[in-house]
Amino acid sequence: GAVVSQHPSWVICKSGTSVKIECRSLDFQATTMFWYRQFPKQSLMLMATSNEGSKATYEQGVEKDKFLINHASLTLSTLTVTSAHPEDSSFYICSANGGSYEQYFGPGTRLTVT
């Protein structure tokens, strides 16, 4: 089946630094990828939709200058959390559209900002 990977699976960074999370579709090409944020005991909240070769579309309330998304190829999208603060600590999940509108999800990245 379609596999999506994320790297790293867990990252700790200091407040004020930036951290990059990668999302890769391993065995298929994805023109569209999605980035979600999940708080403990909360649902997944869509942050942005990433289309290969174009700017990401951010959901209302998501700071595009803080959460930089790049979808440079059909198999890779990256999320960079810039100038991270403790309130950015969360679980970030990506998914990739494998066709027929079915989304395949990565295992998630836990970000802890100290």
Residues forming the site for another protein (CB under 8 A): 4, 32, 34, 41-44, 46, 49, 93, 95, 97, 101-108
Of the pair 35, 78, the CB lying nearest another protein is at 35
Minimum distance between the CB of residue 83 and another protein, rounded to whole angstroms?
A: 28
Residues 71, 56: contact at Cβ < 8 Å? Answer: yes
**Nearest by Cα to 37 from 72, 63, 5, 74:** 63
Of the pair 34, 67, the CB lying nearest another protein is at 34
Of the pair 48, 113, the CB lying nearest another protein is at 48
- Burial bucket for residue 2 (CB in 10 Å: 0-12, 13-18, 19+): middle
Minimum distance between the CB of residue 35 and another protein, rounded to whole angstroms?
A: 12
Measured between alpha carbons, how far is 41 from 49 in angstroms, rounded to an integer?
A: 23
